[in-house]
Structure 1
Amino acid sequence: MRYSANHKMETREKLLASSAVSAKTSGFSTVGVDGLMKAIGLSGGAFYSHFSSKDELFQAIVERELAHSLDRLSGNGVMDSAKLERCLKQYLSMNHVEHPEAGCALPVLGAEIARSDVQVREAAQTWICRLHDGWAKVLGSDSLAWAILSQCVGALVVARMLVTPEVQRDVLKSSHEEISRRLAERQSD
């Protein structure tokens, strides 16, 4: 059976998208190659025509998902303080807590990235630094950009660890209020 010229590329994209959702909802290490391929209707053996290893797939997922996060959180290259505030409000939301598959990869994959090989960590660093640089330009401060980025990711991790929606909302609200206070102080300087 002959496949179209785009078939391999389309299959690879399906595998990346499906594997990213799986990784962001259940963790990457929990699903084997056969399970990842079964999710897109193919046999495990077909995996190796797209990636040489599961680690290579994870690196591709990290790069893809962090690129998507950068697009969402940097305003597609056009960022100002009002747009940053809207991004922060969306990031620190119950919708983001309840739908990890549709949100930022850092809160859900951060620990797995930290345990990965240097190539994965370098890829993550590239995208995280791009996000930081964009925010630092808007904020006029490298350290404030790192602090806000870290607080956002940490708040989401903590909120997702909790069971009660009211407590989750408190974590998100407190973090958002503290970040907003820091931003207001920065603007009044």
Structure 2
Amino acid sequence: MRASKEHMKKVRGHILESSEQGFREEGYSGLGINGLAKRAGMTSGAFYGHFQSKNQAFHEVVKKGMNDYIDTLTQLEQQYQDDWPQQFLDFYLSLEHMDDLEHSCVVPALSTDVMRSDEKTKKLFSEQLEQIVAQMSTGLVSRDRTSALALVSLLAGSVMIARCSSSRKQSKEILESARTLANSLVFKEK
């Protein structure tokens, strides 16, 4: 008896979710198919029934993560209107976001793995990054692409570097320094 399409979609979603967490926590090279399958609570053969390769699973994780970033910006804008940039910065440059690698933004969590990935995944990342930059620019004083690209890079890089520090005090200082600079891009001087 074959599983229904709905069941297969649900299982694939579960695999994707567990793969997201795995790649964020252990990186692309830290997990093989067996590790990804184990995280999803299945055999490697069952994993291959949904994804042809680890590369395909990674590509889908990056795609979902970038879409989640875009969706988060949209939701914040809808919920907080003109105050959405403040809400976004409060979350993104928080110690809680820095600490939660499992659910973190895909950009600081997986950029180094994307850098080493195939051209198809890099192209996807680049295309979706352009959408993020376009959306981010709507919350800036200047509303320009260059400042939005700088802000996205500042945020991701700051979270990445703060995570590398062995000092909680230094991590907090990195995030606070990034916030000061980010505020200058987002808010008009008073």
With the length of structure 1 as denominator, give the TM-score of the two structures.
Answer: 0.91
The DSSP-based 3-state class of the residue aligned with 2:120 is helix
> Which string of whole-angstrom CA distances, capped at 9 and with x for unpartnered residues, describes residues 62-103 of structure 1?
001111122123436647542012101110000011001112
Distance in 2 between residues matched to 1:129 and 1:77, nearest whole Å: 18
Change (3 A) 1:173 1:76: closer
Q: Which amino acid aligns with 1:152?
A: L
The DSSP-based 3-state class of the residue aligned with 1:134 is helix
Distance in 1 between residues matched to 2:92 and 2:77, nearest whole Å: 17
Counterpart residue number, 2:136: 135
Alignment of 1:1-189 (within 5 A): 1-75=1-75, 78=78, 80-139=81-140, 140-184=143-187, 187=188
Distance in 2 between residues matched to 1:88 and 1:137, nearest whole Å: 14
Distance in 1 between residues matched to 2:177 and 2:74, nearest whole Å: 23
Q: Which amino acid aligns with 2:153?
A: S
Runs of 4+ in 1 over 6 A off after TM superposition: none
Distance in 2 between residues matched to 1:35 and 1:181, nearest whole Å: 43
Distance in 1 between residues matched to 2:129 and 2:74, nearest whole Å: 11
Q: Which amino acid aligns with 1:56?
A: Q
Change (3 A) 1:131 1:91: same
Q: Which amino acid aligns with 2:18?
A: S
The DSSP-based 3-state class of the residue aligned with 1:138 is coil
With the length of structure 2 as denominator, give the TM-score of the two structures.
Answer: 0.91
Mean Cα deviation higher: 39-48 or 9-18: 39-48
Q: Which amino acid aligns with 2:3?
A: Y
Q: Percent identity?
A: 26
Report if the CA contact (8 A) 1:74-1:135 is conserved.
Answer: no
Mean Cα deviation higher: 171-180 or 131-140: 131-140
